[in-house]
Amino acid sequence: MLDTTKWASFPLSVDGVNFVSKLDIEGSFYPQILNMPKEVFEKFHVEMIHSLIGNPSLMTRKELEKELDRVNDGATQALICLA
């Protein structure tokens, strides 16, 4: 499991479900996210979540956790987690 205690956290909501995007501040994605307008950041995440797991509001917490574990498997610089 990655140690994300020093990572940046960016909260967002998709279909009424609260998520947090976590990024390694030393990773290559971090500067890109900081320079991205908030609307673009949120749209990217909504589209990503819909394409990878579907509509999160139709899933139980346990189902969401299982899907997020699958999506985050092997990640090194960025994670999407339930808030």
Instruction: Write the pLDDT tens digit of every residue in 42-67.
Output: 999 999 999 999 999 999 999 999 99
Does residue 1 belong to any structural domain of this protein? Answer: no
Give the rounded distance of the alpha carbon of 10 from its chain centre.
8
Answer yes or no: is 49 within a domain: yes
Q: Determine what percent of the chain is predicted with pLDDT higher than 90.
A: 89
Angle between helices 38-53 and 61-72 in degrees, nearest 10 = 100
Report the chain's mean pLDDT, rounded to a whole number: 94
CB 30 within 8 A of CB 79: no
Helix (H), strand (E) at residue 82 = strand 78-82
pLDDT at 71: 95
Domain range spanning residue 77? 8-82
Q: Residue 67: inside a domain, yes or no?
A: yes
Q: Alpha helix (H) ranges present in 1-83?
A: 29-34, 38-53, 61-72
Number of domains in the chain: 1
